[in-house]
Amino acid sequence: MDTQIDELIKKEEKRQREELQLIPSENYASKNVLAPLSSVLSNKYSEGYIGKRYYQGNTYIDEVENLAIERAKKLFSCNFANVQPLSGTPANISVYLALLKPGDKIMSMNLASGGHLSHGSPVSVVSTLFNIVFYDVSEQTGVLDYDQILEQAKKEKPQLIIAGASAYPRIIDFEKFSQIAKEVGAYLMADIAHIAGLVASELHPSPFPFADVVTTTTHKTLRGPRGGLILWNNQDLSAQINKAVFPGGVQAGPHNNVHAAKAVCFYEAMQPEFKTYTQQVIINAKVLGDELRTHSFNLVSSGTDNHLLLVDLRNKGTGGKTIAQALDKAGIIVNYNMIPYDPSTPFKPSGIRLGTPAVTSRGMVEKDMVKIAGFINQAVENLSDDVELAKIREQVINFTSSFKVPGLDT
C-alpha cells in the first residue's frame, strides 16, 4: 500500500464527511458507481468503437460500453450516444469539431451571465479555432431574454448556438432556442452538464427533440463518475460526432472503467428514488435561497428553479473570493463566481455560487437548509474573525456528523 496516498485519501474522506459541500457541480457518487472505477477495466486499451477496436481482447469492454450507451439513450430518450468523452469540455470540443469548420461562428452564453469556459471564452482554445459571440442575461432580471437573443442571432448569423450554463439558476427554454437556431440556420447544442439529473427526472424540460446535439457531464446532478457524454437523434450526425471524439484528436484511449461507472449511474438515475432525490434537490435550493434572502443576501434572478444559487454580494461590501475563503474556514465549501455584468474581474468576482446536489445526497431536507443559511450568514458576519470562524466550523462538523456519506457509509 502507498501509505502517503492512502493517508491523503483518508484526509479527503474526512473533509468530505465533515464539511458542507455546496459547490453545485459536485456530488457524492454511490459505492456502486465508485466500485468499477477501481476495477481491472482500467487496465485495457480499446481505441475505436464497439466491434471496431484497434486492440484485441475487447469482448467484455464492448459489452460494458454497449450497456452504457443503451442506458444513456433510454434515460434521455434519444437515438444515439457516445459515452467516451472524458469530461464536459472534451465532449463540447468534439461537437464543435464535428459540426463546424475552423472560423465558423458560435453564439453562446457569456461567462459572466453563467456560461462555461468551453463555450468560447477568450482563454479557451475554442476561441482560437472559432469566431465567438456571446449573449447575456437581462441586466434587469438576470434571466435569458429570448427576443433579444433572436435579434442578436439574426444579426450575427452563427453556425452554432449553445444553450446551457454553469451558473444559471433558471429554467432554460430549449424549444425557444431551437426556434431561434432554425430561424438563422444554425445548429443547436444544449450543454446540460449542470441540470442532467433534473432532465433525467423530468424536473427540467428536456433538450430533446429540440437540440441537434446534447452534451453533459455525468458527475454533477446526475451523481455518476467524473465523465462526459454526447447524445443526439439524427443518424446523419453519427459518423462526424464519433469521428471527432476518436480518432479526430480530442482524445484516444477511452476510460473503460468510467464507462462501467456511467452505466451504473444511468441505471441508478432510472430508479424512482432518484426522482425523489432530484425533487428534494430543487426544494432544498429554493429553501436555501429564501433563507439567504431573509439574511439580506441578494440572489441573481431573485431565486432559483434548479439546483443552484448565484449570490450577488455587492451589498455585503466584500468580494466573492474573500467570502468563499472565509466560508471555507468555517467548513462551508462554495465557489466564488462572476455575476452578470460583474463590475469586477474573474479573479475577484462579486458573487458566490452554491448548490444543493451534494448536501441532498446526504439526506438533508428543508430544515437543514435553514440551518445552513444560518451558518453562512454567521460566517459572513464574522469574515475577518478567525476565532469565530473556527467556532462555526465546530458547529458545522457537529451538524454534518448526523448525516451519512454516500459512497462511504451507504
Catalytic residues: 45, 47, 191, 217, 220, 226
Name the minimum Å distance from CB 88 to ligand DSN: 6
Q: CB-wise, 25 or 257, nearer to ligand DSN? A: 25
Name the minimum Å distance from CB 90 to ligand DSN: 11
Q: How many CB atoms lie within 10 A of CB 258?
A: 27
Please choose, from the candidates 218, 214, 244, the residue with its C-alpha nearest in 3D space to the C-alpha of residue 232. 214
Q: CB-wise, 82 or 87, nearer to ligand DSN? A: 87
Ramachandran category for residue 169: left, alpha or beta (phi over 0 → left; psi -120 to 50 → alpha): alpha
Please choose, from the candidates 387, 291, 370, 292, the residue with its C-alpha nearest in 3D space to the C-alpha of residue 330. 387
Name the minimum Å distance from CB 192 to ligand DSN: 12
Residues 170 and 289 sit within 8 Å (Cβ to Cβ): no
Restricted to residues 24-53, the positions that interact with ligand DSN (CB under 6 A) are: 25
The residue assigned the cell 458547529 is 395
Q: Chain centroid to CA 246: how far?
A: 23
Q: CB-wise, 26 or 175, nearer to ligand DSN? A: 26
| 92 touches ligand DSN (CB under 6 A) | no
Site track 230-269 with ligand DSN (rule: CB under 6 A), x = hit? ----------------------------------------
For ligand DSN (CB under 6 A), the number of binding residues is 4
Residue 91, CA distances (Å) to 3, 127, 292, 318, 331 in order? 35, 16, 35, 36, 33
| CA pair distance 215, 221, nearest whole angstrom | 14
| CA pair distance 154, 100, nearest whole angstrom | 19
| 166 touches ligand DSN (CB under 6 A) | yes
3-state SS assignment for residue 388 = helix
Residue in the shown chain whose Cβ atom is closest to ligand DSN: 25
Residues 149 and 135 sit within 8 Å (Cβ to Cβ): yes
Q: CB-wise, 48 or 90, nearer to ligand DSN? A: 90
Name the minimum Å distance from CB 69 to ligand DSN: 24
| CA pair distance 332, 266, nearest whole angstrom | 30
| CA pair distance 142, 136, nearest whole angstrom | 9
Q: CB-wise, 88 or 254, nearer to ligand DSN? A: 88
Q: CB-wise, 228 or 319, nearer to ligand DSN? A: 228
Cis peptide before 158 (omega within 30 of 0): no
Name the minimum Å distance from CB 306 to ligand DSN: 13
Q: CB-wise, 180 or 308, nearer to ligand DSN? A: 308
Grid cell listed for 245: 471524439
Restricted to residues 282-311, the positions that interact with ligand DSN (CB under 6 A) are: none
Question: What residues are paired with 105 via a beta bridge?
Answer: 131
Give one DSSP letter per residue of 234-274, joined into a string: -GGGHHHHHHHHTTSSS--S--HHHHHHHHHHHHHHTSHHH
Name the minimum Å distance from CB 25 to ligand DSN: 3
Restricted to residues 106-135, the positions that interact with ligand DSN (CB under 6 A) are: 116
Name the minimum Å distance from CB 310 to ligand DSN: 12
Q: CB-wise, 71 or 170, nearer to ligand DSN? A: 170
Q: What are phi and psi of 356, to 5 degrees?
A: -110, 5
Name the minimum Å distance from CB 366 to ligand DSN: 25
Residue 14, CA distances (Å) to 9, 21, 403, 408 in order? 9, 12, 13, 10
Q: Which residues bind ligand DSN (CB under 6 A)?
A: 25, 88, 116, 166
